[in-house]
Amino acid sequence: MLSYSAPLDDMSFVLFDLFSADEQWARMPALTDADKPLAMAVLAEAAKVAGEVMAPLYQASDAEGAHWRDGAVSAPAGFKGAFRALAEGGWFGVAGNADHGGQGLPKMLAVPLEEMLWSANVNLYLYGALTVGAAVCIDTHGDEAMKRTYLPKLYGGEWTGAMALTESHAGTDLGMIRTRATPCADGTYEITGTKIFITSGEHDVADNIVHLVLAKLPDAPAGSRGISLFLVPKHLPEGNRNTFASGSIEHKMGIRGSATSVINYDAATGYLVGAPNGGLANMFTMMNHARLSVGIQGLGWGERAHQTAPAYARERRQGRASAGPKTPDDEADSILVHPDVRRMLLTQRAFTEGGRAFAAFVGLLLDRAKCAEEAPDRKSAQAFVDLLTPVVKAFLTDRGMEGAVLAQQVFGGHGYIVEHGMEQIVRDARIAQIYEGTNGVQALDFTARKVLRDGGATLKRLLGEMVEDRVPAEFAAPLSEALAAIEAAIAHLIAGASSDPDLPGAISVDFLELTGLGIYAWLWARMAHLDSDSRHHKTEVARFFYAKLLPKTRALLASIEAGSGSVMSLPEESL
């Protein structure tokens, strides 16, 4: 059976050696109560829940799956009790608004916590993962009565959240939705329509499910400008069952223990969140939270896969080392002596530990954006968060999927067999590149909206801050080259986009990957600089990253500078 042990030592290194989190929090009045002893106590307790309560249910929940019967959905065996343990532990409210039942701890601390929950059992955590995003959305855009009614229950895990956007004909293009909201005399709205792919839209692990639903009012403008946001609870405040139900659950490649529903709203009672026709902008509060969370999910896959593969490689004996037997008394050496196996394991480690540092950095930016004393500092941090959100979502999930496949490859034929669990990790990891906005859409958002729209100013400012950091001499030149490649990509985008409207889309995936590799190069150089006693072996892994992974930036820049011609020239009928 697959097991999970939280990487607390590396989490501590990232938080307190790399980013001096306790010093950062001490400079933010709202976070001065947070320090290293408190943070590590929280993470240690979360590690117990992840390893002892959640992880043992992972493989069984995939085999059993969720169940649908006459509109009711039941989660796999053991999920109710495990979810109750998460709720009673307060794990959904760690960084929540303390005025409404949250604990008010730093977002930077919530990042490694969430990594554990994703790593341990994605099927289980998906029943509560959107709860935090729903709470953030309500806290940001809801009225005071709505906050008082819903936030304590959401932070406490008594109720869960769901995000209802997609319709069969409207996925990325939400302006095409047909779900309608009809005003009622009492100030509520009747919501009518069908949504698909709704994660945890119906289940039995919590007492109530709070849907945030996109719909259109009768006089709404056309397209995305006419979308409004509504809170539609499964059970109304007075206790009555609302008039919506699960029409079916999807039969999926992976995450089979998580119920993904078709939801039919039949004049269901809804409450307007924010201003009429401002729903898409309001929902982006939840969507961006979800995208960051899914990026951390990708990190979780990388960690789970990397924990499993080296352990197998140490035990698996095949062949001999090229330079001669390492263990001559045994029939064969462990496969760790083979360079290609080491390449796969080091690639996993470089991307996983680099991803952990990147996620923590964005967590720190979120704390600064909310809690920094000076308004310019808050504004600057928020600009970086907005810029990096699509990079977190896409780059971390791409690397998580890569890590899962590499781990399966280390297992060889055994990785293809159900009992070892690697094929489940590969199946489950795949969805993170698709939901909450496909990674291609994230790349286009990053390139066309985040970079092109401000002429690359925010990304250049971030690169400027990276250049100022002290790094070991052996990494200085290749780091400068990688960051210069990003600068060159920005220049190419700015120069060519006005005359070639296909350029941003044609180069976007390469541009995002180039940026991700550059950020990891910066973080690995910083980690190597701090690892003076080599206790964490950061310098050795950094050397591998710089020698074997970072050179891809040259190919990516060449692809970017090749433009859109070869992508768009073939006639559609020939594709």
Calculate the average pLDDT of the chain: 96
CATH architecture of 161-282: Beta Barrel (2.40)
The answer to whether residue 535 scores a pLDDT higher than 80 is no
Mean per-residue pLDDT, 428-434: 98
Helix (H, G, I), strand (E, B) or coil at 530: helix
State residue 556's pLDDT score. 99
8 Å CB contact between 271 and 92: no
436 is catalytic: yes
When pLDDT is cut at 50, 70 and 90, the band that residue 362 belongs to is very high
Q: What is the pLDDT of residues 489-515, one digit of tens each?
A: 999 999 999 999 999 999 999 999 999
* Answer CATH for 8-159 from 1.10.540.10, 1.10.490.10, 3.20.20.70, 3.30.930.10: 1.10.540.10
Q: What is the pLDDT of residues 116-170, one digit of tens each?
A: 999 999 999 999 999 999 999 999 999 999 999 999 999 999 999 999 999 999 8
Domain boundaries, the chain: 8-159, 161-282, 447-565
Q: Do domains 8-159 and 161-282 have the same CATH topology?
A: no
8 Å CB contact between 231 and 146: yes
State residue 533's pLDDT score. 66
Tokens standing for 182? 């009809």
Other C-beta atoms lying within 10 Å of the C-beta of residue 211: 27
Give CA–CA dist 207/198, Å, rounded.
18
Other C-beta atoms lying within 10 Å of the C-beta of residue 331: 8
Tokens standing for 357? 């540092």
The 3-state secondary structure of 270-309, one letter per residue:
EEECCCCCCHHHHHHHHHHHHHHHHHHHHHHHHHHHHHHH
When pLDDT is cut at 50, 70 and 90, the band that residue 28 belongs to is very high
Tokens standing for 304? 């789970």
Q: What is the pLDDT of residues 79-129, one digit of tens each?
A: 999 999 999 999 999 999 999 999 999 999 999 999 999 999 999 999 999
Tokens standing for 200? 């945890």
The answer to whether residue 172 scores a pLDDT higher than 90 is no
8 Å CB contact between 171 and 196: no
8 Å CB contact between 122 and 199: no
The answer to whether residue 317 scores a pLDDT higher than 90 is no
Give CA–CA dist 485/132, Å, rounded.
37
State residue 320's pLDDT score. 85
Q: What is the pTM of this model?
A: 0.96
Write out the H or E segment, with its range, that includes residue 228. strand 228-233
DSSP H helices, 54-195, are 58-64, 79-88, 107-120, 122-141, 144-155
Residue type, 564: S
Query: Of 391, 174, 160, 146, nearest to 288 (Cα)?
Result: 391
Catalytic residue, candidates 436, 474, 513, 561: 436
